[in-house]
Amino acid sequence: MKTALITGATSGIGKSTAIELAKHNINLILCGRRQDRLDVLQNELSKTVKVHTLSFDVREKEEVFKKIDSLPPHFSNIDILINNAGNAHGLDPIQTGNLDDWDAMIDINVKGLLYVSKAIIPKMIAHGSGHIINIGSIAGKEVYPNGNVYCASKHAVDAINKGMRIDLNPYGIRVSAIHPGLVETEFSNVRFKNDDERADNVYKGFDPLTPEDIADIIAFVVTRPYHVNIGDLVVFPTAQANSTIVNKNFV
């Protein structure tokens, strides 16, 4: 059986991906900051596959390496890495942007992804195989008003994904990116600092993607024959044409 490590596994896309991969008999290493949520998910999925949890913040470099190095031997061979942890903070023009918001987005979306990847890639190289899936965003393909630093962080994910695929090609490691459009998760609640009404309005008037939709795509990507690598995939809800054009009357 294969083993997948998923960051940001306590909610949204990460949680749904864990549930979906368990259906494919893939053992799981679930990572997140909220141990209580990790425990609930572990109890649920342990009936099907082996599950180990690691509670850490991807921004904390030393903690990332310490926790991943602490994996027991039967979980140390990681076949699949899903870099899902990410966030958006604020939706302000560059001139009034909040520096703490900028730091959070760059530290989690870019540096956190790099730290976790750096901790795991040598294990994949030593094993001679592996698959890295980086969860990006349409914000990594386009820039929209007031998106500035968030878009920059996701453009970085897009570039890192391409660079990884080049650098790891000699080792037979697959590298993929999935760039969703509007997915209804806690994303907007975090962006708007728990302003639930504003967050809910983002998804009104159309059917957004769900975390389960993205999890289904991730499962498809990781279960392709090994000679097949889906390197770069953009997915929208049908009502969305790009970052700024959404048919709010399409349900």
Residue 231 exposure: Cα atoms within 13 Å on the Cβ side: 13
Q: To which residue do tokens 């708007």 refer? A: 192
Nearest to 155 by CA among 183, 186, 179, 190: 179
**Residues whose CB is less than 8 angstroms from the CB of residue 143 and which lie 6 or more positions away in sequence, other chains included:** 151, 155, 243
User: Tokens in use for 23?
Assistant: 């259906």
Degrees, nearest 5: CA angle 5-36-56: 45
Residue 103: CB atoms within 10 A of its CB come to: 14
d(CA 221, CA 39): 27
d(CA 199, CA 89): 12
Fill in the amino acid letter for 53: T
With 0-12 CB in 10 A as exposed, 13-18 as middle and 19+ as buried, what is 76? middle
User: Looking at 150, 203, 226, 248, which residue is catalytic?
Assistant: 150
User: Looking at 67, 115, 154, 203, which residue is catalytic?
Assistant: 154
**150 noted as active-site residue:** yes
Nearest to 77 by CA among 32, 128, 112: 128
Catalytic residues: 150, 154
